[in-house]
């Protein structure tokens, strides 16, 4: 197998349902950023310690789902042959799955009403980085949506995903006995 | 507490002083990138070793300041109720604080007149990554400034911050007895 | 030496062959992203373990080449005094060098015909992150190319570089006895 085909050497590439589009296209930007997020999640999973091993299966499930989402984002809207794989049912089920874990993690961490500094143990910090890359991916998907129609289910899951990473980061600090540090000039922001 | 409100599921969100704007807005992009930087700094702090522990307090102080900066960036310019929190005085004082540390770190590292490869020990390498994410955040703030007025003090601090990370990365290598590797085809660039 | 000159405090900066341009310019974005990639490669090299030490020299060589590429990207196209340093000969030679390593690494890893989840050992995961930052840099270079002419040799090398990181990540997992996990809903995509 040759993984390099040299076809993209001039800056154009293939997506699903179209021949060649520029790599700078907002669609390529969107699923490319999801791929970056997915890789960072892989890195985060690779540095989990004994105390946070239970997150490994969750992170792997999220990676699988991000591939379904990436596939829909990589499909041009004019393509009739392909159907979106991240269906309403799948999206509802998997977003609910995230929400239940969020509720569990939030309940296990000390109550806060102010912003916290993103950090703590290496895995908590990596989860905060995942949170912010998820939000970057969300911004790129919204920018794509302004250019062309997308599977809007993807945005729901991605929005919840950054909240999952916030809750998971706090939970990882609980497991590692590390207190979150509050933003010193903050007012109460969480209700 | 529910951290997920589901309000942002369609791609719009709240900022300070405005109702709902698209998540793809250059203002959201700017403070979102500052949040990503802040999270990466958290990760960097989490992998400091015994030899670079003295940087922990500095990194935490920088995280606090980035929250002040983020707050001003998250405030729409037409908002009359909110005043910028990163005042001229604060900005002057905290930029000076960075400059003094830069001078100390630069004095402690071998003199160079050429570019170095960003790398070395894990913490030095992470500081170089912080340097480049700071510069990405700077580019996003400049792009916002082209769309809407901002607190220009934020740009001064962010510009100095990437120089801090350069100096800190070199200092971390000194502490870890790792020589920086020079760019082989470089001419003298530093004066 | 003062590394901070304060010249860029208002959002403009110098490039090669021009006085001051906005930091938000697509040219600054392109070489700034190459700098971010280069720093991440430094981080990746810093966490290589005994089993993947052989990659250290490769990563350092790639960092050197990215400086040549960065220099050409930092040179404005109207500049007559400077010549591109990443010449046709250099580019052909160094792209071939990458292709030979890719072939070696692909041959050493189990054959796959489906996408894999980016992850595994910390170094394999970091190599996948490098893969996706390389692709982000590629998108930024393509966007610059739509605004102004560039040294097109840079795109060829960068395109092959992300395939190198894919092959290297898989190879690192082989060395660490970690199986790659397949995307569960995938069809055969690799030929
Ligand atoms: C989208 C995409 C990606 C996305 C994946 C998106 C996601 N899901 O998140 C991302 C950006 C992550 C990606 C990454 C990579 N990719 Co890619 N990717 C593609 C692309 C454009 C589509 C692949 C795809 O999903 N096809 C699946 C579906 C939709 O298409 P399909 O198989 O034709 O399926 C249809 C039919 O088969 C039919 N069908 C399918 N199943 C069934 C079953 C039944 C019963 C029936 C009736 C019908 C049916 O229905 C489908 C819809 O019509 C292809 C190029 C192309 N246009 O095919 C390259 C491609 C597969 N990628 C390629 C490469 C090299 C890579 C990378 C190695 C690049 C890199 N250096 O990073 C990585 C590897 C990533 C990994 N982790 O393994 C190469 C592979 C070259 C080769 N050797 O063959 C390709 C071919 C592009 C190229 N260069 O030409 N990629
Ligand atoms: C900006 C912002 C952010 C920024 C913070 C920016 C920065 N500083 O760097 C960023 C992007 C980092 C962020 C992240 C998150 N955020 Co946020 N964020 C906001 C936002 C828009 C403003 C918050 C803020 O700073 N308010 C402070 C100030 C300016 O407003 P204020 O409290 O009203 O203060 C005024 C008055 O109180 C008065 N006042 C204040 N003090 C005093 C004192 C005196 C004496 C007087 C007289 C007056 C006075 O003056 C102020 C100015 O008028 C709010 C939404 C909103 N519009 O409120 C969401 C919000 C707080 N965020 C929210 C969430 C969920 C998050 C995240 C968890 C999201 C995620 N998954 O990543 C993270 C958590 C980050 C962390 N580390 O803790 C939710 C919280 C939901 C909840 N449960 O209540 C909110 C409400 C948005 C929403 N979804 O509806 N956020
Ligand atoms: C491009 C650039 C970068 C790029 C490098 C790009 C790349 N290669 O990947 C990036 C973005 C990475 C970068 C980063 C940094 N940079 Co810088 N960078 C520059 C810039 C714009 C050009 C430097 C360069 O490559 N010059 C080399 C060549 C092309 O120019 P030249 O030396 O004049 O060479 C010509 C002549 O000398 C002649 N020539 C050369 N050799 C020979 C030989 C012979 C025989 C002959 C006849 C002729 C000849 O031909 C050349 C072509 O005409 C300068 C500003 C400027 N305009 O000079 C800042 C500059 C060097 N950078 C600076 C700084 C501070 C940094 C950072 C520390 C910033 C930060 N905080 O991250 C980092 C350090 C990075 C590191 N790893 O060491 C400062 C240095 C300040 C100082 N103390 O002197 C400068 C001066 C900008 C400024 N602030 O004013 N930088
Ligand atoms: C918590 C706050 O974060 C901002 N916000 C919401 N979504 C994103 C995103 N994808 N990227 C950056 N910032 C975002 C909004 O201003 C919200 O109120
Ligand atoms: C050292 C060189 O880096 C470039 N430069 C200055 N600021 C930024 C930034 N935010 N991002 C990327 N590159 C930048 C300029 O070209 C400067 O001269
Ligand atoms: C494997 C698939 O990845 C996509 N692709 C090619 N180059 C890039 C890039 N720089 N960034 C993101 N995605 C890219 C194309 O759709 C290709 O077919
Ligand atoms: Mg949200
Ligand atoms: Mg600067
Ligand atoms: Mg490619």
Chain A residues lying within 8 Å of C124, measured CB to CB: 46
**Which helix (H) or strand (E) segment is B7 a member of?**
none
Mean pLDDT of B81-91: 92
Percent of chain B at pLDDT > 90 equals 91
Is ligand 3 within 6 A of the CB of residue C21? no
Residue with tokens 């020079």, as numbered in its chain: B182
Q: Round to whole Å and give the CA distance between B160 and C189.
A: 47
Nearest to C171 by CA among C58, C40, C42: C58
Mean pLDDT of A80-105: 94
C-beta atoms of B129 and C67 within 8 A: no
Q: How confident is the model at residue B81, as a pLDDT?
A: 74
Give the distance (Å) from ligand 9 centre to CA of residue A5: 8
CA distance A9 to chain C (A): 5
Percent of chain B at pLDDT > 70 equals 100
Statement: residue B24 has pLDDT above 90: yes
Q: Would you place residue A92 in the very low, low, confident or very high pLDDT band (cuts 50, 70, 90)?
A: very high
With the most atoms of ligand 4 within 8 angstroms of its CB, the residue from A135, A137, A162 to mutate is: A135
For residue B162, give the ligand 5 atom closest to its CA.
10
Closest chain A CA to residue B23:
A139
Mean pLDDT of A89-97: 98
Q: How confident is the model at residue A120, as a pLDDT?
A: 98
Statement: residue C187 has pLDDT above 90: no
Residue with tokens 């239970």, as numbered in its chain: A54
Q: Would you place residue C186 in the very low, low, confident or very high pLDDT band (cuts 50, 70, 90)?
A: confident
**Which helix (H) or strand (E) segment is A21 a member of?**
strand A18-22
C-beta atoms of A32 and C155 within 8 A: no
| β-strand partners of C22 | C12
Q: Round to whole Å and give the CA distance between A2 and A15.
A: 19
Q: Would you place residue B82 in the very low, low, confident or very high pLDDT band (cuts 50, 70, 90)?
A: confident
Which ligand sits nearest to residue A162's alpha carbon? Answer: 2
Question: CB of C164 within 8 A of CB of C40?
Answer: no
User: Which residue among B119, B145, B184 places its CB closest to the CB of C11?
Assistant: B145
Give the distance (Å) from ligand 6 centre to CA of residue A67: 14
Q: Would you place residue B158 in the very low, low, confident or very high pLDDT band (cuts 50, 70, 90)?
A: very high
Which amino acid residue places its CA nearest to atom 11 of ligand 6? C135
Between C131 and C191, where is the model more confident? C131
Q: How confident is the model at residue C78, as a pLDDT?
A: 84
With the most atoms of ligand 6 within 8 angstroms of its CB, the residue from C129, C135, C142 to mutate is: C135
Q: Would you place residue B31 in the very low, low, confident or very high pLDDT band (cuts 50, 70, 90)?
A: very high
Percent of chain A at pLDDT > 70 equals 100
Q: Round to whole Å and give the CA distance between B4 and B2.
A: 5
Percent of chain C at pLDDT > 70 equals 100
Tens of pLDDT, residues A155-173: 999 999 999 999 999 999 9
Q: Residues enclosing ligand 4, CB less than 6 A?
A: A 135, 138-139; B 8, 13-15, 23, 28, 32, 74
Second-level CATH architecture of A23-75+82-182: Up-down Bundle (1.20)
C-beta atoms of B111 and C1 within 8 A: yes
Is ligand 1 within 6 A of the CB of residue C191? yes
C-beta atoms of C39 and B128 within 8 A: yes
Q: Would you place residue B78 in the very low, low, confident or very high pLDDT band (cuts 50, 70, 90)?
A: confident
Between C77 and A135, where is the model more confident? A135
Question: CB of A118 within 8 A of CB of A128?
Answer: yes
User: Which residue among B102, B103, B131 places its CB closest to the CB of C39?
Assistant: B131
- Which chains share 3+ C-beta pairs under 8 angstroms with B? A, C
Q: Round to whole Å and give the CA distance between C105 and C169.
A: 9
Statement: residue C173 has pLDDT above 90: yes
Terminal-to-terminal C-alpha distance of chain C: 55
Q: How confident is the model at residue C87, as a pLDDT?
A: 96
Q: How confident is the model at residue C79, as a pLDDT?
A: 76
Is ligand 6 within 6 A of the CB of residue A76? no
Q: How confident is the model at residue A134, as a pLDDT?
A: 99
**Which of A50-54, A142-146, B51-55, B74-78 tops mean pLDDT?**
A142-146
User: Which residue among C3, C24, C38 places its CB closest to the CB of B146?
Assistant: C24
- DSSP-based three-state secondary structure for A3: coil
Q: How confident is the model at residue B1, as a pLDDT?
A: 75
User: Which residue among C2, C42, C68 places its CB closest to the CB of B119?
Assistant: C42
C-beta atoms of C185 and A1 within 8 A: no
Q: Round to whole Å and give the CA distance between C152 and C90.
A: 13
Mean pLDDT of B20-34: 97
Domain spans, chain C: 23-75+82-182
For residue B127, how many other CB atoms are within 10 A of its CB?
31
Is ligand 1 within 6 A of the CB of residue A7? yes
Tens of pLDDT, residues A110-158: 999 999 999 999 999 999 999 999 999 999 999 999 999 999 999 999 9
Chain A residues lying within 8 Å of C106, measured CB to CB: 1-3
Mean pLDDT of A87-99: 98
Which one of C124, C129, C141, C166 makes the best mutation probe of the A interface by having the most chain A beta carbons within 10 Å?
Answer: C129
- Which chains share 3+ C-beta pairs under 8 angstroms with A? B, C
Statement: residue B125 has pLDDT above 90: yes
C-beta atoms of A23 and C142 within 8 A: yes
Between A77 and C165, where is the model more confident? C165
Tens of pLDDT, residues C142-155: 999 999 999 999 99
């Amino acid at each position: 197998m040759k993984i390099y085909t040299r076809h993209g050497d001039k800056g154009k590439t293939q997506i699903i349902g179209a021949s060649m589009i520029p790599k700078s296209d907002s669609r390529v930007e969107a699923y490319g950023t999801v791929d970056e997020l997915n890789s960072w999640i892989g890195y985060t999973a690779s540095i989990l310690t004994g105390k946070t091993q239970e997150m490994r299966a969750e992170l792997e499930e999220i990676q699988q789902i991000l591939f379904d989402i990436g596939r829909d984002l990589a499909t041009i809207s004019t393509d009739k042959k392909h159907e979106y794989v991240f269906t309403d049912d799948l999206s509802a089920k998997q977003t609910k799955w995230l929400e239940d874990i969020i509720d569990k993690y939030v309940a296990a961490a000390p109550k806060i009403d102010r912003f916290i500094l993103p950090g703590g143990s290496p895995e908590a910090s990596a989860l905060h980085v995942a949170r912010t890359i998820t939000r970057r991916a969300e911004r790129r998907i919204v920018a794509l949506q302004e250019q062309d129609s997308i599977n809007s289910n993807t945005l729901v899951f991605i929005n919840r995903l950054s909240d999952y990473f916030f809750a998971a980061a706090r939970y990882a600090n609980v497991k590692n006995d590390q207190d979150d540090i509050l933003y010193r000039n903050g007012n109460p922001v969480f209700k």
